[in-house]
Amino acid sequence: MNQDLQKERAGASFIPELLTNVLDGSPENTRRRREIENLILKDPDFQHENLNFLSRSQRYEVAVKKSATMVEKMRKFGIADPDEIMWFKKLHMVNFVEPVGLNYSMFIPTLLNQGTTAQQEKWLHSSKGLEIIGTYAQTEMGHGTHLRGLETTATYDPETQEFILNSPTVTSIKWWPGGLGKTSNHAIVLAQLITQGKCYGLHAFIVPIRELGTHKPLPGITVGDIGPKFGYDEMDNGYLKMDNYRIPRENMLMKHVKPDGTYVKPLSNKLTYGTMVFIRSFLVGESARCLSKACTIAIRYSAVRHQSEIKPGEPEPQILDYQTQQYKLFPLLATAYAFQFVGAYMKETYHRINEDIGHGDLSELPELHALTAGLKAFTSWTANAGIEACRMACGGHGYSHCSGLPNIYVNFTPTCTFEGENTVMMLQTARFLMKSYDQVHSGKLVCGMVSYLNDLPSQRIQPQQVAVWPTAVDINSPDSLTEAYKLRAARLVEIAAKNLQTEVIRRKSKEVAWNLASIDLVRASEAHCHYVAVKLFTEKVLQIPEKSIQAVLRRLCLLYSLYGISQNAGDFLQGSIMTESQITQVNERIKELLTAIRPDAVALVDAFDFQDVTLGSVLGRYDGNVYENMFEWAKKSPLNKTEVHESYKHLKSLHSKL
């Protein structure tokens, strides 16, 4: 063990294990998680070469192999709980990319939701047993978020009772679906249904794309890999072009279509919200995990790395002792904790509401749906920038793949665009905020996270006295800071609502007005989400019984709240929520907190409890033996296999010709 880390761990004010239990939800959860981890880490079937040294095609191969192994092992180990599946998968592949993943996450669920009993009988068994491997092809090259814009057509031919599938334009080629390029032999394709000369909108069709036995594309199908990407090297995201490709009538998923061809809407659109809420709450958790990993690497390395001098003549200090380094990393550490609790809250809420739905109560779904959209965007944007900041805080070595940080970044960053592009997500939340604002304006109270809109001065019959709402903020009280964030959100929601109204009056068109107010609307959503994060963190801290843990989390919670105020000081000043001298105090208090958190920094990242294999980082090793291992790592690089590289021939010819 590196001496610096040993000292750091000895000096911590709390026992990391207790905090780990808080993060996992209970000591029992921690135990079970580790049990599953050990199943994988001790299993020789899951060992693999360092992915960084493999070509893209090799990485894909490793992923396919592990994907296949995983299916069997999960069955063998009896892992079925969604959370446990997540732990299991995340561990056995550092990057959590599985080419056959969409078979389970999209193909089968869609079959269950939209297939008739007969269709399920026909396909479900073989897809569950991987007799066929399916994927889900929705996004097209020219069309993403706006579903109605999809161009792929499925035209019914009554003579043969078949659908004729076509990709009529370049922009209609299916693009991006995971597992489509090389792995799958079936796809659920979303296409515009045309029958008797009329278009009936989007429907889902089961389309065989490769021949069983040879895996060759079927006639009329053009399928392949979309080429190299920023990350996700292991995944064969694919394209699919169909030319007059015929499938039997039974391949259209028809649970919601009556035999006479009329379309029955599913019971409630709201029900599909449930799945989306689940996925988005998972992504919020993913933001927290990835940022936590990046913090673990950067903070451990900062405790090991010595550089320059604070005082002449003294030995080079740990870079974690520099105020600027603390200022880069500790607010991110606090953010990682905040997002861990936001993610946990969303998961709990999802489960609770799921029970309500079971009892037929759908009342809370719209708010939750709106909130999760914004929180997915808010946390993924913040984590995206945070991971990159952690990487840069590691200086030059952060740029090497041995740090593990480039991988974390490139595999995390698509979270900002998939499952709903972030700006679009923010605008969904804004729509809900505007609706709530209007509701209050028309005299009805709103509840839940937006209930602060009831208290807006402009909404009251008796205007509140100005002195009542500002300046009372106590910067040492998390509750009081939560109030400050609430006021900021209320103010920005109101500004957005008023600007929207002005534009509506001026432009006559609601849609044009919406576009011209959208920057304000996104701002309002961000402020709302920030408030929610501060509120949830604050509430969580109060629930911690163990004093030493509560104390250290309280410091992080304060830092998270104060740092956000400092970064957005304009909003707090302009809204007269805080005074200039309070902002000055906030900045001073942040520096005090950096010093207070410093002795616990390493223990705080230890509490995330990532195993070295999961971190995939030489810089972030638990034992801190960074430099020896960096040297060993580099020596393993394929470029060093021979002492004289084959390209020496070019060098040799160089001086003979010049």
Partner 1 sequence: MVGSPVHRVSAEDAWSRSMHPDIESERHSQSFNVEELTNILDGGAQNTALRRKVESIIHSEPELSLKNNYFMTQNERYEAAIKKKFHILMLAQRLGWSEGSRELQYASRTVSGDLGFAIHHIFQKTIQTLGSEEQIAKWDPLCSKFQILGTYAQTEMGHGTYLQGLETEATYDAATQEFVVHSPTMTAIKWWPGDLGRSATHALVQAQLICSGARHGMHAFIVPIRSLDDHSPLPGITTGDIGPKMDFDHTDNGFLKLDHVRIPRENMLNRFAQVLPDGTYVKLGVPKSNYLSMVAVRVDMLLGEVLPLLQKACTIAVRYAVVRRQSRLRPSDPEAKVLDYQTQQQKLFPPLAMAYAFHFVANNLLEFFRHSYSSILDGDFALLPELHALSAGLKAMLSDFCTQAVEQCRRACGGHGYSKLSGLPSLLTRVTASCTYEGENTVLYLQTARFLIKSYLNTQKSPGSASKGSLPQSVTYLTAPEVARCPARTAADFLHPKLYTTAWAHVAVRLIKDSVHHLQTLRQAGADEHDAWNQTTVIHVQAAKAHLYYVTVKIFTEALEKLESQPAIQQVLKRLCDLYALHGILTNSGDFLHDGFLSGAQTDMARKAYLDLLPLIRKDAILLTDAFDFTDQCLNSALGCYDGHAYERLFQWAQKSPTNTEGNPAYEKYIRPLLQGRRARL
Q: Looking at the annotation, which residues are catalytic?
A: 419
**Within 10 Å of residue 174's Cβ, how many Cβ atoms?**
28
Nearer to partner 1 by Cβ, of 155 and 413: the residue is 413
Nearest distance in Å: CB 192, partner 1: 15
Instruction: Print the SS3 string covering 481-510.
Output: HHHHHHHHHHHHHHHHHHHHHHHHHHHCCH
Nearer to partner 1 by Cβ, of 313 and 358: the residue is 313
Selected from 192, 379, 423, 429, the binder of partner 1 by CB under 8 A is: 423
Selected from 200, 350, 622, 627, the binder of partner 1 by CB under 8 A is: 627
Which amino acid, one-letter code, is at 629?
N
Distances (CA, A) of 350 to 156, 364, 607: 40, 10, 26
Selected from 30, 52, 116, 155, the binder of partner 1 by CB under 8 A is: 52
Q: Is 560 helix (H, G, I), strand (E, B) or coil?
A: helix
Is residue 583 at the binding interface for partner 1, with CB under 8 A as the rule?
yes
Distances (CA, A) of 85 to 40, 81, 110, 132, 133: 12, 6, 19, 22, 19
Of the listed pieces 265-273, 405-413, 468-476, 527-535, which binds partner 1 according to CB under 8 A? 405-413
Is residue 568 at the binding interface for partner 1, with CB under 8 A as the rule?
yes
Is residue 170 at the binding interface for partner 1, with CB under 8 A as the rule?
yes
Distance between CA atoms of residues 403 and 31, nearest Å: 29
Of the listed pieces 244-252, 295-303, 330-338, 644-652, which binds partner 1 according to CB under 8 A? 644-652
Selected from 308, 442, 462, 465, the binder of partner 1 by CB under 8 A is: 308
Is residue 636 at the binding interface for partner 1, with CB under 8 A as the rule?
yes
Contact yes or no for 20/609 (Cβ under 8 A): yes
Which tokens in the block code for residue 382?
Answer: 């913040």
Which tokens in the block code for residue 256?
Answer: 């919601």
Nearest distance in Å: CB 541, partner 1: 25
Interface of this chain with partner 1, residues 321 to 350, rule: CB under 8 A? 321-325, 327-328
Selected from 591, 599, 611, 623, the binder of partner 1 by CB under 8 A is: 591
Is residue 173 at the binding interface for partner 1, with CB under 8 A as the rule?
yes
Number of residues in the chain:
658
Nearer to partner 1 by Cβ, of 61 and 438: the residue is 61
Distance between CA atoms of residues 445 and 436, nearest Å: 9
Is residue 631 at the binding interface for partner 1, with CB under 8 A as the rule?
yes
Instruction: Print the SS3 string covering 59-86.
Output: HHHHHHHHHHHHHHHHHHHCCCCHHHHH
Kindly report the backbone phi and psi dihedral angles of residue 516, in degrees, each rounded to the nearest multiple of 5, phi listed first: -75, -10
Nearer to partner 1 by Cβ, of 190 and 440: the residue is 190
Is residue 638 at the binding interface for partner 1, with CB under 8 A as the rule?
yes
Is residue 203 at the binding interface for partner 1, with CB under 8 A as the rule?
no
Interface of this chain with partner 1, residues 68 to 87, rule: CB under 8 A? 68
Closest CA to 602 of 5, 126, 1: 5
Selected from 416, 487, 552, 556, the binder of partner 1 by CB under 8 A is: 416
Residues 6+ apart with CB under 8 A from 327: 590, 594
Selected from 150, 522, 536, 603, the binder of partner 1 by CB under 8 A is: 522
Nearer to partner 1 by Cβ, of 347 and 523: the residue is 523
Nearer to partner 1 by Cβ, of 64 and 94: the residue is 64
Selected from 306, 431, 435, 498, the binder of partner 1 by CB under 8 A is: 306
Nearer to partner 1 by Cβ, of 571 and 600: the residue is 571
Q: What is the distance between the terminal CA atoms of the chain, rounded to a whole angstrom? A: 53
Nearer to partner 1 by Cβ, of 33 and 66: the residue is 66
Nearest distance in Å: CB 287, partner 1: 15
Beta bridge partners of 241: 222
Is residue 400 at the binding interface for partner 1, with CB under 8 A as the rule?
yes
Of the listed pieces 20-28, 366-374, 387-395, 472-480, which binds partner 1 according to CB under 8 A? 387-395
Q: C-alpha dihedral over 324, 325, 329, 330, to 10 degrees?
A: -70
Nearest distance in Å: CB 582, partner 1: 11
Is residue 449 at the binding interface for partner 1, with CB under 8 A as the rule?
no
Of the listed pieces 23-31, 271-279, 416-424, 460-468, which binds partner 1 according to CB under 8 A? 416-424
Interface of this chain with partner 1, residues 228 to 247, rule: CB under 8 A? 228-231, 236, 239
Tell me the Ramachandran region of residue 443: left when phi exceeds 0, alpha when psi lies from -120 to 50, beta otherwise.
Answer: left
Is residue 56 at the binding interface for partner 1, with CB under 8 A as the rule?
yes
Interface of this chain with partner 1, residues 535 to 554, rule: CB under 8 A? none
Nearest distance in Å: CB 18, partner 1: 31
Selected from 363, 399, 502, 611, the binder of partner 1 by CB under 8 A is: 399
Selected from 572, 597, 598, 610, the binder of partner 1 by CB under 8 A is: 572
Is residue 585 at the binding interface for partner 1, with CB under 8 A as the rule?
no
**Look-up of token digits 């929180």:** 375
Of the listed pieces 115-123, 270-278, 407-415, 436-444, which binds partner 1 according to CB under 8 A? 407-415
Interface of this chain with partner 1, residues 206 to 225, rule: CB under 8 A? 212, 215, 224-225
Is residue 273 at the binding interface for partner 1, with CB under 8 A as the rule?
no
Closest CA to 436 of 377, 367, 483, 514: 367
Distance between CA atoms of residues 386 and 474, nearest Å: 28
Which tokens in the block code for residue 152?
Answer: 């792929």
Selected from 2, 20, 95, 185, the binder of partner 1 by CB under 8 A is: 185
Selected from 27, 512, 542, 599, the binder of partner 1 by CB under 8 A is: 512
Nearer to partner 1 by Cβ, of 43 and 316: the residue is 316
Selected from 417, 439, 477, 501, the binder of partner 1 by CB under 8 A is: 417
Distances (CA, A) of 76 to 79, 102, 217, 425: 8, 21, 33, 39
Distance between CA atoms of residues 607 and 292, nearest Å: 10
Distance between CA atoms of residues 38 and 367, nearest Å: 39
Instruction: Give the interface size with partner 1 as a residue count (CB under 8 A).
Output: 129
Is residue 469 at the binding interface for partner 1, with CB under 8 A as the rule?
no
By the 10 Å C-beta count (0-12 exposed, 13-18 middle, 19+ buried), 107 is classed as buried
Distances (CA, A) of 552 to 25, 44, 561: 18, 39, 14
Distance between CA atoms of residues 612 and 348, nearest Å: 29
Of the listed pieces 18-26, 397-405, 535-543, 599-607, which binds partner 1 according to CB under 8 A? 397-405
Interface of this chain with partner 1, residues 118 to 147, rule: CB under 8 A? 125-126, 129-133, 139, 141-146
Which tokens in the block code for residue 574?
Answer: 């302009």
Distance between CA atoms of residues 174 and 190, nearest Å: 9
Tell me the Ramachandran region of residue 163: left when phi exceeds 0, alpha when psi lies from -120 to 50, beta otherwise.
Answer: beta
Distance between CA atoms of residues 19 and 606, nearest Å: 9
